Structure 1
Amino acid sequence: MHPVSALRIDVWSDIVCPWCYIGKRRLESALGRFEHADEVEVHWHSFQLDPSHPRGERRPVFETLARKTGAPLAQVRGMTAQVTELAAAEGLTYHLEHAVSVNTIDAHRLNHLAETHGLGAAMHERLLRAHLCEGETVDDADTLVRLGTEVGVPGEEIRRMLDGDDGGDGDDGGDTYAKAVQADFDEGRRYGASGVPYFVLDRAYAVSGAQPADTFLSALRTAHANGDRAAR
């Protein structure tokens, strides 16, 4: 008998992306119905919806969307209301009227730090909820320390990481995690991720967007059937 190999799911996501949280919940719903869910490993990867957003610049999400789309604020509110309704159907309570647009690089660095403690998935969940549901400012150092310690990441490690020199070639924590984030960006491009959420099953089957749970379930079954991972 050979051990059963895991069905790997790689997910590219940004913690300020409302569709990413919806997609996460729909994947989780599919896994709840998947016959081989105990064989699945989910790995979260960094992606930035707007890497050009200046670090340290903060503005209301509605204002950011109005600038990007050229739509009046009333229309932006209508668009986000539809997303909020879809989120509610997945058990999520969005308050996008309180959300703050920021550069997410430090939040992604925190995700990678959390992953070294086996807390990457919990950290990603906490950051999504903080931005989309609670109106937290997720580029603020004190906020990131608080959110990280909530899930069990040592606060002193978070401070050390945030104080690190991203641009250097040294071995300090900040540079290490910045490189890990960049590696995620590069890998995502190789898999064809031009937007998020983006899911790759068994390094072979891509699912783009927050698809319905039934679509995820079908993809899981296909990947499992074609992966030849049954114990022999």
Structure 2
Amino acid sequence: MKVEIWSDVMCPFCYIGKNNFEKALEDLPFKDEIEVEWKSFQLDPTLDPDQTKTTFEYFREKKGFPEAQAKQMIGQVSQMGIKSGIKFNFDKALITNTFSAHKLLHLAKKYKKANEMEEALFIAHFIEGKNVGHIDTLVAIAGSLGINTDEARQVLTSEEFNDEVKNDFSEAGSHGISGVPFFILNGKYSVSGAQPVEFFANALQQTYEETVIPLKNISGGDNSCDADGCSI
């Protein structure tokens, strides 16, 4: 059984969704039969890869939100994170272009370390306040996972894996995906947003038990990010 997950490292709901999804997997008797494939999605491809913004600067400049409103929204997401076991550090998070981070994800796929790379990128961005658009930062993350740093630097300074990243973007478009996280369960059901653990467990159980049917969205709500921002 295959689960495809579209995600962007800048999306807090993607991190929450990852945690909840993985907690749901823990108690499923068929967890070892599930193959997870991480897919790339960029919330804001217009960002300059050579620049960073704070979370509050980004909300103000890109979304037009006053600081008070931004703080309220971020506070709500932080509370969701705590319930999921994540202590977000939005004061340190640096917003930047994530295309290079997605290239690193595809390199990690080569070594069957995509899940570890997703987690490492989320931690770097949301917890440690590192610039996940900077080549040296990304090379160091690759090295921490046992991936050859020379190869990582070669990938990040060339066009290698550019097509793979763009293909993920195109595939998202073909599925009508406009926000992340977005899960496709065995080509059968789609789940959008950072759903609760119980929801993921039920969806996985249902998908496992049934035969393949046309893709159907079984989400009950929406905690996700799109190009216009994050919805709660």
| TM-score, length of structure 1 as denominator length | 0.88
Q: Are positions 1:218 and 2:202 aligned together? A: yes
Which residue does 1:96 correspond to in 2? 90
Alignment of 1:53-202 (within 5 A): 53-164=47-158, 175-202=159-186
Shift of 1:74: 2.2
Contact 1:109 1:178 in 2 (8 A): yes
For 1:107 and 1:69, how far apart are their aligned partners in 2? 23
Shift of 1:93: 1.2
Contact 1:198 1:208 in 2 (8 A): yes
For 2:106 and 2:171, how far apart are their aligned partners in 1? 15
Aligned pairs, number:
212
Q: Can you give the 5+ residue segments of structure 1 that lack an aligned partner in the other structure?
A: 1-6, 165-174
- Work out which of the two has the higher radius of gyration on C-alpha atoms and give 1 or 2: 1
For 1:119 and 1:104, how far apart are their aligned partners in 2? 18
Shift of 1:35: 2.7
For 1:191 and 1:34, how far apart are their aligned partners in 2? 27
- What are the Cα deviations for residues 32-65 of structure 1, in whole angstroms up to 9, with x where unaligned? 1223112111110000011111221211111101
Which residue does 1:38 correspond to in 2? 32
For 1:82 and 1:43, how far apart are their aligned partners in 2? 29
Shift of 1:176: 3.0
Contact 1:62 1:73 in 2 (8 A): yes
Please state whether the residue corresponding to 1:94 is helix, strand or coil.
coil
* Identity across matched positions, percent: 38
Which residue does 1:47 correspond to in 2? 41
Contact 1:202 1:227 in 2 (8 A): no
For 2:60 and 2:194, how far apart are their aligned partners in 1? 23
For 2:28 and 2:177, how far apart are their aligned partners in 1? 25
- What are the Cα deviations for residues 155-209 of structure 1, in whole angstroms up to 9, with x where unaligned? 0001111221xxxxxxxxxx23111100111111222211000000001200000
Q: Can you give the 5+ residue segments of structure 2 that lack an aligned partner in the other structure?
A: 213-232
For 1:185 and 1:71, how far apart are their aligned partners in 2? 27
Which residue does 1:24 correspond to in 2? 18
Please state whether the residue corresponding to 2:48 is helix, strand or coil.
coil
| TM-score, length of structure 2 as denominator length | 0.88
Moved >4 Å (runs of 4+) = none
Please state whether the residue corresponding to 1:206 is helix, strand or coil.
strand
For 2:48 and 2:141, how far apart are their aligned partners in 1? 22
For 1:25 and 1:162, how far apart are their aligned partners in 2? 27
Please state whether the residue corresponding to 2:179 is helix, strand or coil.
coil
